[in-house]
C-alpha cells in the first residue's frame, strides 16, 4: 500500500503492533504541522521542536494503551496545545511572554494536579467535539492552530462574522460540557478554553 494512502486509523493499528515504519510515517505526516502550531504559540524554535518531539515519544511509549476518539489530527493538535500550556506553567511568569489569557491560566491552574487535570479536560473536550458538526470541529482545529478569524474565513470560504459565530458556538458547547463534567473546577477549565480559543 502506498504510504500516502494509509489512513491514520490504519497507522495507529500498525503502531500498536510495534510497527516502527508506521510510526516513522506518522512522524513525517504530522511533524511539520505540529511544529508550526507549537511555534506559533511559544515563538521559540528549540522549544517548539522539543514539545513536538516529546509528544511523539509519548505516543510511542503509550502505543499499546492509546485510545483516540476524535480524528488523529485533532488529537495531536490538542496535545500540542496542552503541552504549550504546561511549558508556560513550568516557567516563572516573569521569564516568559504570556498573553493575558495564559497568565490567567497560570494563576488558576495551580490548584489542580498538572497531569491529571489536563487528562480530564482533554477527555471532556474530545467527547464534546465528537458531538459537534464537522464545520465546528474544523473551526476549532484551525483556531487552535493560532489562525486569525480572517485566515479561517478565507480557508473555509465563509464570512468572517460566520467564523466568529462558529467560535462562539464552539465555546458555548465546550463551556456546557465542562460545567456538566467538572463543576468543581469549571472556573479553571473555562479559563483554559478561553486561552485556547481567544489567544
Q: What region, left, alpha or beta, does residue 146 occupy, with left being phi > 0 and alpha being psi -120 to 50 degrees?
A: left
The tens digit of pLDDT for each residue in 168-193 reads: 888 888 888 878 876 766 555 666 66
Q: Going by C-beta distance under 8 Å and a sequence separation of 6 or more, which residues neighbour residue 37? A: 77, 80, 81, 144, 145, 146
Cα–Cα distance, 125 to 184 (Å, whole number): 17
Note the pLDDT of residue 103: 47
Total domains in the chain come to: 1
Q: Which residues of the chain have pLDDT under 70?
A: 1-4, 69, 88-119, 145-146, 182, 184-199
Q: What is the dihedral of CA 169, 173, 176, 181, to 10 degrees?
A: -160
Which residue range is the domain that position 172 belongs to? 3-198
What is the pTM for the complete model shown?
Answer: 0.52
Q: Which residues of 39-53 are buried (b: 16+ CB within 10 A; e: fewer)?
A: bebbeeeebbeebbe
Amino acid at each position: 500500500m502506498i504510504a500516502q494512502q494509509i489512513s491514520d486509523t490504519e497507522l495507529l493499528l500498525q503502531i500498536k503492533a510495534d510497527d516502527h515504519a508506521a510510526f516513522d510515517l506518522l512522524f513525517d505526516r504530522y511533524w511539520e504541522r505540529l511544529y508550526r502550531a507549537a511555534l506559533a504559540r511559544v515563538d521559540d524554535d528549540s522549544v517548539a521542536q522539543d514539545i513536538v518531539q516529546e509528544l511523539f515519544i509519548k505516543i510511542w511509549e503509550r502505543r499499546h494503551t492509546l485510545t483516540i476518539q476524535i480524528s488523529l489530527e485533532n488529537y495531536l493538535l490538542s496535545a500540542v496545545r496542552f503541552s504549550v500550556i504546561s511549558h508556560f506553567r513550568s516557567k516563572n511568569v516573569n521569564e516568559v511572554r504570556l498573553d493575558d489569557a495564559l497568565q490567567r491560566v497560570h494563576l488558576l491552574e495551580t490548584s489542580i494536579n498538572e497531569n491529571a487535570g489536563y487528562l480530564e479536560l482533554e477527555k471532556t473536550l474530545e467527547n464534546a467535539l465528537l458531538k459537534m458538526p464537522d464545520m465546528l470541529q474544523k473551526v476549532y482545529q484551525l483556531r487552535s492552530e493560532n489562525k486569525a478569524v480572517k485566515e479561517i474565513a478565507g480557508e473555509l470560504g465563509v464570512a468572517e462574522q460566520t467564523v466568529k459565530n462558529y467560535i462562539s458556538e464552539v465555546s458555548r458547547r465546550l463551556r456546557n460540557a465542562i460545567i456538566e463534567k467538572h463543576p468543581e473546577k469549571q472556573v479553571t477549565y473555562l479559563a483554559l478554553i478561553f486561552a485556547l480559543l481567544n489567544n
